[in-house]
Structures are given as structure tokens and as C-alpha cells.
Structure 1
Amino acid sequence: MKKFIVFISFCVFISVSSMYAKKWEKPKAEKFYSANSNYCLLIQPAAGDTPCKGTLYQTGYKAGLLTVWSAKLVNPVSPVKALVTDNGKYVITFDDWENLGTTDNMLVIYGTDGKLIKKYKIGDFINNKLLENLTELEEGYLWYGGSSFEKDGEVFVFTISLAGESGDKTVKLLLKTGTRTE
């Protein structure tokens, strides 16, 4: 059993590490699909005077993709990762390009028409003492420990990976308002 737990812990570490295993080259346009593949978020990084932009598409149409919304994202360059709810109602972006967990855009929630609902920094979820338990990287913190949607995509649950005795911290957010729920 102990070997199994060590193996599972190793697998979680590898999957989390791969999220951040990007060479910090110039970001390119990237697509992020909902788990059911019914929605696709295309993120176009900032370039020159053009700000970072997200366009949410609904998939599965004979004519191709249906544009649901297109909006400027708060990231100065590009987010590192994004998630889309299966109903396409909400989009969550993570971190700023080359800055993991160190800016006000650690986690950002967008709703209908790409409207900003709430943005968070790491200090909104953990105190300075717990901040010492995050794995530090050259470009910030390795904080993301996985996530899921609950209640038909209305609640977002994510884990902040903490080393040491404190253990990981799980946070639940009501996406409609961006407020914490327990």
C-alpha cells in the first residue's frame, strides 16, 4: 500500500510539473477545450499594441465553430493555462506568462460575454507562512495541484500544492460571483 501511495504521489507531481513544463519562448495562440469538447477557448497572446484576447467557440456545427464571445483578457501577455466549463458558461485562466503564482492574475474567472467576474492572487488563498511551503521555481511558484468542476459547472474546486506538514489546501469558488464557498 505504501508503494502505491508513493506511486500516486509521483504521478500527481509529474502531471502538475507538466502543466508548467513550458519553455518560456514567445507564446503562441493556444486552444483549450471543455472536458466534453463542446466548447473551445482560443487564446491569442498580446503582440505589440494588441492586447491578449480570448475567443470562446461552441463546437459541433456543420458550418464549423460558433463564436460565443470574444474579449480582452487581463493578462499582459497570455495566461499559462485555461479551463472551460462543459456548458461554456465560465472560463478560468491561470497565471501570467513566465510568472507563476506571483501576479494578481494567478486565477481569473470570466463569465458571459467574456466579462471579468473575479481575479485572484496567491495571497487571497494562503497566508505568508504557508507561502513558504510552495515549491519555488525560477519563474514563480509550483502551486497548482489539480481542479474540477462541481454542481453542473457552477462551482470550481482546486488544490494548492503545499510541501511540508501543512498539506495541500483545497479551495471552492462559486463561479457566478467568484466568492469562496465551503
Structure 2
Amino acid sequence: MASKGCRLTIVPRDLESQLAFFEGKVDHTEKAGQRPGGTPQSNATLERRLPDGRWERIWSRALVNDVAPVDALVSDGMDYVVTFDNWHSIGYGDDAIVIYDIANGGVRTFSVEKLLGTDYFAALPHSVSSVQWRGDKRIEGGQLVIDVVVPDESRSMGHENHVKLAIDLASGKTTERSPGAWRGARTFAERVNAASRAAEQANRAERGAPLPGPASHDVLGWHSYLREAFWRVDPDWIEGSPATTVLLARRAPNYRDSVKWIGKHLEESGGGPEMFAGVDEADLMGVLTKVTARLRPGALHGKQVYIAASQAVHARLTALFAPSRATLVLLDPARPIPQRPERLPRADGSLPTPFDFRKSEDSP
């Protein structure tokens, strides 16, 4: 905003709910999520305070944004209003920056991707729906000045390093302040994109290759192995959603919790598949022996239970789970699991996900 002498009020387009909006976007519905009879378009009103304390409207109009902008500024002379970003999609769209010329009625829109360049934009930190592209913003002497985020290889949100981009309010001309700093920022962006390309290439190679077992003490590796194994071998891999539990090393601070997790997942199991592994196989076998001894006969009838363990203990595991009537699937980490054809990398390099194969409610 500008001084205390003005007031800008923005009214969003009226939605039934966030869920209705997102569902409408998926279905490519015009005016996604619109509430029947509600405000059909976002709008803004600019007022100035009169000497007697009353507010006088000096400008009002419908805004370019679909639902509403996220932030706004008013120039000191109250001759320009600038809005930033779109609700729930920061950084995206041709109207990520909009400059409204109050005196002349003009409107200028800017795409962040076009302003910064596709490569720079791709290197910025991304969440599911937004791009963290800016820090502070202000109007200085007829120019909009924005602190633009400098990418780094962590790609994490909450950056502190910025370069300054200026946009002339009257002409729309852009200027990168401190060209040396911008050259450095673009160098960082190149490094981030190179690292991303290398990671994507590695992911494609891993997706197509047989799946080996992880290092014995790599807890996160065991969780990843179990999930990926499920997608490779389970007949219901498209719709299934397994729970993965890894027994930690005895020296781990939350080792006892991991023992309880195994018991809880077997004794209070829900409907989905359960998957188990341990950083120490002998310890895992000991825990499973105790837990299965507590199960009543037939307690796991129809329940899928995956266990990652060496071939040497498979017969023992089969005997342990036989009374419970679990549907036991044994994974030998020493035997790499081939990829199913449907999940191999596509010709364009993209990686299929289970969501790509799920039928929508409208499908016949």
C-alpha cells in the first residue's frame, strides 16, 4: 500500500469452496468453483481519506485475476495500483504482475516466466502449486522494484538472497539493477538446472533398472525400497496404498517405538497392505516371532503382508504367519526386482505414476 491516506479493497471471486475450485480446474471448467449467484469476478476499489475523515472512492474496476491477487501496492500519488500473483498459484500466469493506470485506464500484465526467462524460472524453488520468485516489493519514483529470488541448489523455500528488478510504471520497461549481481544469479540458475537434469536422468535410469535392496542401515532407503517393490510386484499397484514400517537399529533413540509400530500395524491393521523391513534381519525376525505369537488364528486372513528378508529366513517367516492366514509376500533384497513394463520411462523421458492409470469417476 501507499500512505495512510488511501485504502484499497479487493473482493475475490466468490467460490463455493476450495475443493470445488480445484475440482473445476481439473475438469477445465470455466469459472472453476464459482458459487451460484456469487460475485463472478474479482474487483478492487481505491479510496482516499478526505480532510473530514470520510472516504471517497476514486477508482473501481474488475481485476484481471481469476479469483484474486495475493498482494497489492498503491503508488504515493494514487495513480497506479499494482497486483501480484494469483490465489493458490503464486508465480504462474500471464497476470502474475498487473499494473493498473488509474488516470488513463490502461492495464499492463506480466508473466514472471517471461520476465525472468524460462531457464531462470525453472530454477526457482517450487511447491506443488506455486513458485517462490520474489521477496520485498515497493514503488520508488515511478518504478516498481521487486526483490527477485536467486536460485540455489537446495531449491528450498525461504531464500534470503535476491536481485532487484525494476519496472517503469508508465512504460512497462524493465531494468535489471546491478547487472553483475544478475549475471551471478543466472549462473546459479544454470547450476540448479544442471543438477536437476542430472537428478532426472538418474531417476529415469533407476526406474528402468532392476531394483536392488538398500544398504542395511539406510532407513529411508528401506522405506523407498518397500514402496518401489510394491509398485513393481503387486497386482493392485495402481490403486493400492501400502504402509511401510522399518525396524530401527537397537542403538537408535526411537528403537522401542519402531518395535511398537510393527506390533500396531499387525495387531491393529487396517485394510491396506503392510510392508516390513529391518536394518538388522535377526532383530526383525525376533520381533516378528513375538508379534505373530500374539495373533489369534486367522487374524490376518485376506491381509497382504510384505516382508523384506533374505531367502534363508523365508521358510521360517512362512511358518510364523501361517496361523494368521496372512497373504504373505516375501522379498529377497539380494534379488533385484525387474520393473513392470507400464512403469518404464516414456519416450519423452517422463515417468508414469499410478495416477496416470487410475480411471476417473466419469470413465465408463
Q: TM-score range by the shorter chain?
A: 0.7 to 0.9
Q: Larger relative CO (CA 8 A, sep 6+): 1 or 2?
A: 1
Q: Structure 1 stretch 123-132 or stretch 86-95: which is displaced more?
A: 123-132
- Which string of whole-angstrom CA distances, capped at 9 and with x for unpartnered residues, describes residues 138-167 of structure 1? 22101112122222xx111112112228x6
Quote the residue 1:163 is aligned against: 151
Higher mean C-alpha displacement, 155-164 vs 56-65: 56-65
Higher gyration radius (CA): 2
Matched, 1:43 2:43: no
Paired position in structure 2 for 1:87 = 77
State the alpha-carbon separation in 2 of the partners of residues 116 and 77 from structure 1.
21
Contact 1:52 1:73 in 2 (8 A): yes
Q: Do structure 1's residue 175 and structure 2's residue 164 form an aligned pair? A: no
**Contact 1:38–1:58 (CA under 8 A) maintained in structure 2:** yes
CA distance in 1, matches of 2:134, 2:60: 26
1:138 and 1:81, CA in 2 relative to 1: closer, same or farther beyond 3 A? same
**Would you say 1:149 and 2:139 are equivalent positions?**
yes
Q: State how far apart, in whole Å, the 2-side matches of 1:138 and 1:130 are.
A: 18
TM-score (norm 1): 0.72
Contact kept, 8 Å, 1:84 with 1:92, in 2: the verdict is: yes
Q: Offset of 1:63 from its aligned partner? A: 5.2
Q: Secondary structure at the match of 1:125?
A: helix
What is the alpha-carbon distance in structure 1 between the residues aligned to residue 113 and residue 77 of structure 2? 30
**Structure 1 residues 63 and 179, CA, compared in 2 at 3 Å: closer, same or farther?**
same
Question: Partner of 2:122 in structure 1?
Answer: 132
Aligned residues: 146
- Summarize the Cα distance change of 1:114–1:58 in structure 2 as closer, same or farther, 3 Å threshold: farther
Q: Residues of 2 paired with 1:181 and 1:160: CA distance?
A: 12
- Rounded Cα–Cα distance in structure 1 between residues aligned with 2:164 and 2:108: 18
1:75 pairs, out of 65, 79, 88, with 65
Any gaps of 5 or more consecutive residues in structure 1? Answer: 1-32
Change (3 A) 1:52 1:99: same
Letter of the 1:106 partner, please give it. Answer: A
| Segment of structure 1 superposing worse, 168-177 or 107-116 | 107-116
| Cα RMSD after superposing both structures | 2.0
**Which structure shows the higher strand fraction?**
1
Long gaps (5+) in structure 2: 15-37, 154-160, 177-364
